[in-house]
Amino acid sequence: MEWIDCHNHLQDPRLMANLDSVLEHARTAGVSRLLCNGSAESDWEDVLKLAQAHREVMPSFGLHPWYVHGRSPQWRQRLETFLDRFPAAVGEIGLDRWIETRNEPEQEAVFREQLRLARRRQLPATIHCLRAWGWLMDVLREEGPFPAGFVIHAYGGSTELIKPLAEWGAYFSFAGTVLETKRERAREALRQVPADRLLLETDAPDLLPPEAFRPHVLRCPEGKPLNEPGNMAAIGRGIAALRGVPEEQMAETVWENAGRLFRTVWK
């Protein structure tokens, strides 16, 4: 049985500082593909190097809404250069009304530019959406269709949005936090997503799953426990139980879906 972690940030310095053990934990757990998401201009080079050095690492380059403000005037050309060097996925990109210091017109303009870039190059996109669902739907409606598809990572939207989003080409990715019993809305969405649009992720080093689903916890000097891609298998088992399918079937479904969506970056 092989798992794919469809969304993480392996380039995070806290994971990089423990890279050998982090990759070893993933390997021994059967997590044999990792989709590493760049978030800011400053980490794209690290993402590319990780993908070049490790067969299991697949790269994605994008400007995350939290880092839109710090972009350089040449950010778009730089992004294109990375996509020229590797036909990766475009992400992590998106919209966020959770951060207090935000400039919404700026976020939206940068998001739209990256959606257009993905569409023009026929690459899949990875979308982050926090407290911005109506806004996201408006932008996607105007920017679509998206023949190369996109994924909404750590899906936190309502069940009502699944159908229209799926019609526009969406995949829905769930992280280990959906295993917390209090997350009723996300758990209901997880049950309703069509099997051919389901993806799974750790979002490591963030979104630490509940204790029963985290064989690996990285403890940093600052003390905050961190998530690892090696937890994907345990999370996948928990999510398979929530969907009422055998774990082998869950692993196969996600593998096939990821291979279809991320075909440009698959290796």
* Contact footprint for Zn ion (CB under 5 A): 92
Residue 112, sorted as left (phi over 0), alpha (psi -120 to 50) or beta, turns out to be alpha
Closer by beta carbon to Zn ion, 92 or else 108: 92
Q: How many CA atoms lie within 13 A of 217 on its CB side?
A: 13
Smallest distance from Zn ion to CB 223, Å: 22
Cα(267)–Cα(159) distance, rounded to whole angstroms?
33
Q: Which is nearer to Zn ion, 207 or 233 (CB)?
A: 207
Distant-in-sequence, close-in-space partners of 103: CB < 8 Å, separation ≥ 6: 68, 69
> In angstroms, what is the minimal distance from the CB of 70 to Zn ion?
17
Q: Going by C-beta distance under 8 Å and a sequence separation of 6 or more, which residues neighbour residue 219?
A: 225, 226
Nearest distance from residue 34's CB to Zn ion, in Å? 13
Residue nearest to Zn ion as judged by C-beta position = 92
Is the Cβ of residue 8 or residue 253 nearer to Zn ion in the bound state? 8
Tell me the residue type at 235.
Answer: I
Report the C-alpha gap between 208 and 175 in whole angstroms: 9
Phi, psi of 62 (to 5 degrees): -165, 170
Q: Which is nearer to Zn ion, 56 or 92 (CB)?
A: 92
Q: Judged by CB, which is closer to Zn ion: 43, or 92?
A: 92
From the CB of 154, what's the least distance to Zn ion, in Å? 7
Query: Cβ atoms within 10 A of the Cβ of 109, count?
Result: 12
CB of 173 to Zn ion, least distance (A): 10
